[in-house]
Structure 1
Amino acid sequence: MTAAWGHGVLGGLMVCGLVFLLVFGTLVHVWYVLACGFALAAFAGLDNLSPDDPLAHWAAVALVLWAACRLQFARQLLRMRHFAPRLDKVALLLIAALAATALYAAFDTRLAWTLRTLQALVVASTVVLAVGALLAWRRMPWPVGFFCAGAVLLLAGLSVTHLPAWSELPPAIGPVNFAELGAIAELALLAAAVGARMRLVLHTEKALEARTKELMGAMGTDALTGATSRAGFESRGEEWVRDGRPFSLMLVDLNGFKRVNERHGRTGGDAVLAAIALRLRQQVRADDMVARLGDDEFAILLAGNPARQKLAEMAIRIETAGATPVAYEGRLLAGGELSMGIACHPADGHTLAGLLESADRALHHCKRQRMGPSYAFAGEQSGGAAHG
């Protein structure tokens, strides 16, 4: 019963490793799957074969390969090449020794020397890995913690049940094999260590993404869409106001953008935002500016003093461009249904804040209308949106 239970756990851990491998596709998960597979083959042989069985030495080979794959997996999990390069070289020498032991066990059916060598190499490699783990403790505490707990259980199991005893005694039915339990417990904790490392990587990536957005914002660029950031928009707008330059401000809002995120997720919504920003930039001149002010809100600064008819024609072109479906992962997502509020400097405000307020009132008036154009001019809400 104990053996069957242990084999089932090893099979489950192997499936877990395969899932990690399919999702992330990294080499560290390959070594984990191999370690679980060789451990399952080795302990199945230990539990069912007598030492004089012709196939017994192949169980010993599988056990040596488990130790080698486990060591290779732990090296990459703990990033020993980065945190402890000298210890990593020692670990590579131990892997070479395990490879030589596996080659010897494949041709020599005598088990005693193989198992004694294996136990010594497993203990030595565990000590080396534990020291390397302590050096990486500050950088990834949770993965190191899980690894150290598993190493303690493995060493405890090996201290109670000596592997070389298998070469002298037939398999006993009933007594617990503590070495096997220790190896299984360590593999389970290593799976937890992999999960902790993946969580750490994701957390690091999110922090890096946030830092990138912060830096891009400081440089005046929105990281997602490539449009000007709010800081860049405010800097340009304030400069034009100080210089007394005539210009127009157009606030652009995506109606119903929340539904896009609900249906297609954040990545689908990001694709729509990036496409809308690109289309807005394609409708303006080199001296104009397209900026992203918020989640689904953009602003356009139009240099000069264009006639309202020209502004209305531009708004219609923007509306048409925004309504074009967005290609995303082989599908076409509904484009943005846009609403626009337009204010002109200095007629609708003598400060950038005043212009934003005027354009925002026009935008909300436009969105409240059930009929009429998709744009509205500041100061004309009572009479409806201007047609030019």
Structure 2
Amino acid sequence: MLRHGESARPYWFKVQLEQRAETGDWVLATQTTALKDVRFYGPFDATGRTLAPAVHTGLSQPFATRPLVSERYLMRLQLPGPGTYTVYARLVGETAPLLALSAWDTAEYLQWRQHKRLFDGICYGILIALLVYNLVLAGIFRDATYGFYIGQCAFALLTLASFNGHAAHYLWGHWPWWQERGNVVLPGLWLIFGTLFARSFLDTRRLPGLDRLLLSLALLAALAALLGLGGQFSTAQTLNEIVSSAGALLAAVAAVVILRSGFKPAQWYLGGQALLFLSVLGVVLVNWNVIDAPFLLANGLQIGVAAEMVVFAIALSRRISGLRTSQTALRLHAAHLAEAAATDPLTGLANRSGLAQKSTQMLADGAAHALMLLDLDRFKPINDAHGHDAGDAVLRAVAARLQAAMRAGDIVARLGGDEFVILLASPLPDDQLEALARRLEAAVRQPVDFQGQALTVGASTGIARSPQDGRTLTELMRSADQAMYQAKQSGSGHAFWGAVP
């Protein structure tokens, strides 16, 4: 068995098989698909006679050269009788993690391959479902993090398909040039999007040092992809391994720091990283013969990738949920501030700014409306004799009475001091406006109890109507103000703008 780093030149294997039964049907298969050139010669019987034509396959050859339409490279050995047979294998692979051969009974191999394809299909289905689901969410939320996740998921899927041989089988089996390059270019693109996803999801801009390191790793992954396209497979593979190891470590450190700052979705990111790490660790332990788990050796990477992407999808949903909650809170806070800015703090009525905001839409329809401007009489003596607390109590009581007397669509506002404005949403005939003014004046005159004392004020009301007395709030206020002073001077209690001489 030879490991990555020793395999840039051809390696020869001599395999001797002892056949005891009358006939035998075997396959001699490689452990990996990441081999540039694979040649099998034999089997040779004890006399040196060859029993089958040579097999020449590998990434540099079309997929059709692979016997039994197998994703792995193999030679079928149909042995005619008992005896010792010899097979020679020549393997070339610049990026293969290991060079090894295994012998299978053909029927058992075909059954194992069927199970392997079924399991691979399940993993691919999970990744495709995540890809489609998050494509939809990306269209809805328009969040760059979803774009990076989609890129990571898509290139993880293509990388697994390339490593498993399915990409060559179903996608680009007639394009050997890309079969070779895809094995290093696709992982490089996966690492680019994985690094960008980590930066965006964890918002590592808050950690400038780590953020710059992650960006540097993304650039290294891009360099690896370019080198792979240029045919520098060994160098590109080495860069990919450096980026994947250092990137996982840096992203984990960033996630821990961000989690400690209170960003809870970071724990999901750590969970996804941990699942992939444990799966890869399991594969490494099998390769080192620490544990015996053939299933884990064959499927560990894609189990880890599928689990990681599922957890990352959950992390994204938690992140978006948190962002939407924060945005909702910010909108509510902004609305509260806007409402507070438009509200008179003493009476709870609209203030001058609130009146301007609410009246704009009401007056924009061009329909008939009426504005009533009320100025309290005998208010200053109350303030002077009893203090500002007494004056405030009177103003709150008057505001409540005015509000209670009006309809739901009408606007009641306090301009400041002892002036109030009422803007009627729908028109009333002059006689009904006059009756309303009298009711309001009567309500205002009701005594206000303050610390056992009955405080009484009156009101002078000026009435302006749109459109004849003005079309804008400013015009109506000017007309109503002049009418109010006329009412105050005449002592009539109220006056229409049209009646002012």
TM-score, with length taken from structure 1: 0.59
**2:153 equivalent to 1:36:** yes
**2:197 equivalent to 1:73:** yes
Q: Secondary structure at the match of 1:177?
A: helix
CA shift in 2, pair 1:281/1:220, >3 Å = farther
Task: Name the amino acid aligned to 1:94.
Answer: L
Tell me what 2:280 maps to: 158
**2:440 equivalent to 1:345:** yes
Aligned length: 272
Tell me what 1:233 maps to: 349
Confirm or deny: 8 A CA contact 2:185 2:225 kept in the other structure.
Answer: yes
Post-superposition CA distance 1:37-90 (Å, at most 9, x none) = 11111111111169xx65133132111111110110110111101x21110000
Task: Name the amino acid aligned to 1:29.
Answer: Y
1:51-200 equivalence runs, <5 A: 54=177, 55-81=179-205, 83-108=206-231, 110=233, 112-138=234-260, 141-161=263-283, 176-200=298-322
Deviation at 1:281, TM superposition (A): 7.6
Deviation at 1:114, TM superposition (A): 3.5
Confirm or deny: 8 A CA contact 1:220 1:230 kept in the other structure.
Answer: no
Pick the aligned partner of 1:45 from 157, 162, 182: 162
State the distance in 2 between where 1:315 and 1:71 align: 75
Question: 4+ residue runs of structure 1 moved beyond 6 angstroms?
Answer: 274-277, 302-306, 314-317, 351-354
CA shift in 2, pair 1:125/1:301, >3 Å = same
Post-superposition CA distance 1:331-365 (Å, at most 9, x none) = xxxxxxxxxx99833313546999xxxxxxxxxxx
Post-superposition CA distance 1:146-188 (Å, at most 9, x none) = 10001111222222335xx8xxxxxx99953212221221111
CA shift in 2, pair 1:304/1:23, >3 Å = closer
Query: Greater helix percent: which structure?
Result: 1
Confirm or deny: 8 A CA contact 1:140 1:197 kept in the other structure.
Answer: no
1:199-214 equivalence runs, <5 A: 199-214=321-336
The structure with higher relative contact order (CA 8 Å, sep 6+) is 1
Q: Considering only CA atoms, is the larger Rg found in Structure 1 or Structure 2?
A: 2
Pick the aligned partner of 2:412 from 301, 316, 320: 301
Post-superposition CA distance 1:183-208 (Å, at most 9, x none) = 22111111111111111111111111
Confirm or deny: 8 A CA contact 1:57 1:109 kept in the other structure.
Answer: no
211-220 vs 279-288, which deviates more? 279-288
Q: Secondary structure at the match of 1:102?
A: helix
Tell me what 2:132 maps to: 15
Post-superposition CA distance 1:192-242 (Å, at most 9, x none) = 111111111111111112212222232235xxxxxx899541779xxxxxx
Q: Secondary structure at the match of 2:265?
A: helix
Q: Secondary structure at the match of 1:301?
A: strand
State the distance in 2 between where 1:219 and 1:114 align: 61
Q: Secondary structure at the match of 2:443?
A: coil
Confirm or deny: 8 A CA contact 1:220 1:232 kept in the other structure.
Answer: no
Task: Name the amino acid aligned to 2:196.
Answer: Q
Post-superposition CA distance 1:261-282 (Å, at most 9, x none) = xxxxxxxxxxxxx999712687
Deviation at 1:35, TM superposition (A): 1.1
CA shift in 2, pair 1:183/1:349, >3 Å = same
Q: Secondary structure at the match of 2:298?
A: coil
State the distance in 2 between where 1:6 and 1:158 align: 16
Tell me what 2:377 maps to: none
Confirm or deny: 8 A CA contact 1:41 1:59 kept in the other structure.
Answer: no
State the distance in 1 between where 2:430 and 2:252 align: 66
State the distance in 2 between where 1:104 and 1:158 align: 25
CA shift in 2, pair 1:63/1:345, >3 Å = same
Q: Secondary structure at the match of 1:345?
A: helix
Tell me what 2:361 maps to: 278
State the distance in 2 between where 1:148 and 1:299 align: 56
Q: Secondary structure at the match of 2:259?
A: coil
Identity %: 21
Confirm or deny: 8 A CA contact 1:158 1:178 kept in the other structure.
Answer: yes
Tell me what 2:41 maps to: none
Deviation at 1:116, TM superposition (A): 3.9
Task: Name the amino acid aligned to 1:17.
Answer: N
Task: Name the amino acid aligned to 1:42.
Answer: T
Tell me what 1:332 maps to: none
Confirm or deny: 8 A CA contact 1:220 1:229 kept in the other structure.
Answer: no
CA shift in 2, pair 1:314/1:138, >3 Å = farther
Query: Greater strand percent: which structure?
Result: 2
Tell me what 1:3 maps to: 120
State the distance in 2 between where 1:190 and 1:67 align: 15
Ranges in structure 1 where 5+ consecutive residues have no aligned partner? 166-171, 222-227, 237-273, 318-340, 355-388
Deviation at 1:139, TM superposition (A): 5.2
Post-superposition CA distance 1:304-335 (Å, at most 9, x none) = 999x9x96238999xxxxxxxxxxxxxxxxxx
Q: Secondary structure at the match of 1:233?
A: coil
State the distance in 1 between where 2:303 and 2:161 align: 13
